[in-house]
Amino acid sequence: MQTFGGHKTMQDKILIQKAITVLRENDIDGRSTKASPGLYPHQWLWDSCFIAIGYRYFDINRAMDEIRGLLEGQWTNGMIPHIKFNEKESGGHPREIWGTRKVPKCKDIETSGISQPPMIAIAVWEIYKKNKDKEFLEEVFPMIGKYHRYIKEFRGLDRSGLSCIIHPWESGLDNSPRWDNILDSIRLTDTPESKRADTAFIPIEQRPTDQQYNKYWYLVSLFVGSNYDITQIFKNDPFIVEAILFNSVWCEANRCLSKIAEEIGEENKIFEEWAEQTKNSINENLYDEKDGLYYDFDVKNGVLIKEQTSASFLPLFANVPNQEIAQKIVEQYIRNSEKYWLNYPLPTVSADSLKFNPKRYWRGPVWINMNWFVAKGLENYGFKSYADYIKEKTVELMNKSGFREYFNPYTGEGYGADNFSWSAALTLDIMCK
C-alpha cells in the first residue's frame, strides 16, 4: 500500500509533476485558476480553495494569491460569488444571464450572483499551517469574516446554526438526485433558449439534462428579477434547502476562522459558537435515526430529502456525529460493497439506488473532492486504514485515467473535463501531506 507523505516511487514523482503542470497551465492571471481548459475557463469558488490547498506544496505564494484573487469578486454585502469570470474568455458558462453588472452590491468585477460551499477559511488555515504567515491571515481575515457574517445573517432561517442554499449550483453537486423532486415541481410555461456550452466539450450523457438546465436558468431569472434581494428570493424561490454538505463545510469553516482569529489576536469565540450551533443543529434536524444517516432538508416542503448520496458523509469531515453514529455510517454505508465500497470508492450516489448512473456527473461517478472530504472524515474517527485505501484508489484513478473531472466507480474510466484543476490539486494534497 502507498505510504502517503513518505518515500516516493518514480511513478509517484511523475504523477506529482503532472499535477503541478496542470495547475500551472490552467493559470489565468497569477491570481486565479480556471477549473479546466475549454469547459470551465473561469475561477470557481470552492475549486479555487482546493486549488490553493494543492499549490501550497510547491508554490505557497501562488496559493495565497489564489485566495486573494477569489476575494476580489466579493460583493459589498459580503457574499463571495461562485464564479469570477475570466475577462480573457468569452466561452464557458454564459455570464450575461446573471445581470450582476446592474446590482449595486456587485463590484466592477463580473461575477455570478450566488455562492458555493464556504471553503475559504479552511483553505486559508491549510495554507497557514504550511507557512505561518500571520500577515496573510491579517490581510484576508476581514473579508472572510464578512463572508461568514453574510451567510449567518442572510442565509439562516429560524433553526439556529443552519444555513440555506438557494440554487442547486450552490450545493456544488449540481444535478444530484437530492434535487430531483424540487426541480420536478417547477413547471415552466416557456422553454428558454438553450444557453448550454458544456455539450460542445462533453457528451450529453455525462452531463445534466436539458430539462435540468432549463430549471437552473429559471431560478437564476428569479434572482435577477428580484435584483438579488434575498427576502424576495426566499419568498419566491422553490429551492430553499438546508444542505448537509454546505452546512458541514460551514461548520468546519467557522472552526478554522476561529483559529485564524485567535492567531492574529482577533475575537474568535463567535465563530466557535457558530460552529457549535451548526453541529448541534445538524444532529438535531438533519439526522434520520432510523436510517442512521444525515440528509438535506427541503425548507419549502418541510421534509428531509432521503436520497442516499456521499454528501451524507460530510458530517464526518466536520466532526459532527458521535463515535457511535460515525461507526454506523462507516459499517452500513461507506464500507457496504453494494452501495459505496465499489472497485473505486466512493460513488456520489449509492450503487443500489434506481437513480445511480456511473457516467452522469453528480449521479454516480467518483469525484476526487468527495473522496478527499470522506477520507479526512474517516481519519477524524480513527478509521485510518479505510481512509488510506480511499487515497490509494484515488491515486490509482489518476494514474489510470489522468486528471479527469469524475470517474466510473467500476472501471475507473475518466469522464467530463480533462486536466481538471481540483483533481490535480487534491492529488497533491493526498500524495505530499
Nearest-angstrom CA–CA distance, 374 and 380? 10
pLDDT at 21 over 90: yes
Which neighbouring-strand residues pair with 156? 163
Confidence of residue 3 (pLDDT cuts 50, 70, 90): very low
Which pLDDT score is estimated for 196? 79
Please answer whether residues 125 and 260 qualify as being in contact, where contact means their C-beta atoms are separated by less than 8 angstroms: yes
How is domain 10-432 classified at the CATH fold level?
Answer: Glycosyltransferase (1.50.10)
Pick the catalytic residue from 47, 65, 110, 174.
174
Pick the catalytic residue from 110, 405, 418, 429.
405
Q: What angle do CA 345, 351, 355 make, to 5 degrees?
A: 130
Which pLDDT score is estimated for 1? 38
Q: Percentage of the chain surpassing pLDDT 70?
A: 97
Confidence of residue 255 (pLDDT cuts 50, 70, 90): very high
Would you give the DSSP letter of residue 352? Answer: T
The chain-wide mean pLDDT, for the chain, equals 95
Please answer whether residues 215 and 188 qualify as being in contact, where contact means their C-beta atoms are separated by less than 8 angstroms: yes
Nearest-angstrom CA–CA distance, 375 and 300? 33
pLDDT at 134 over 80: yes
**pLDDT tens, position by position, 351-401:** 999 999 999 999 999 999 999 999 999 999 999 999 999 999 999 999 999
Other C-beta atoms within 10 Å of 172: how many? 25
**255 is written with which cell numbers?**
472552526
Q: Within the chain, what is the greatest distance between any pair of CA atoms?
A: 60
Mapped to the 3 state alphabet, what secondary structure does 230-260 carry? Answer: HHHHHHHCCCCEECHHHHHHHHHHHHHHHHH
- For the full predicted model, state whether its pTM sits above 0.75: yes
pLDDT at 103 over 50: yes
The answer to whether the peptide bond before residue 257 is cis (omega within 30 degrees of 0) is no
Q: What angle do CA 21, 51, 33 make, to 5 degrees?
A: 70
Please answer whether residues 426 and 384 qualify as being in contact, where contact means their C-beta atoms are separated by less than 8 angstroms: no
The mean per-residue pLDDT over the stretch 39-65 comes to 98
Q: What angle, rounded to 10 degrees, do the helices at 10-25 and 45-55 form?
A: 130
Please answer whether residues 43 and 22 qualify as being in contact, where contact means their C-beta atoms are separated by less than 8 angstroms: no
pLDDT at 150 over 80: yes
174 included as an active-site residue:
yes
Please answer whether residues 362 and 375 qualify as being in contact, where contact means their C-beta atoms are separated by less than 8 angstroms: no
Domain segments of the chain as ranges: 10-432
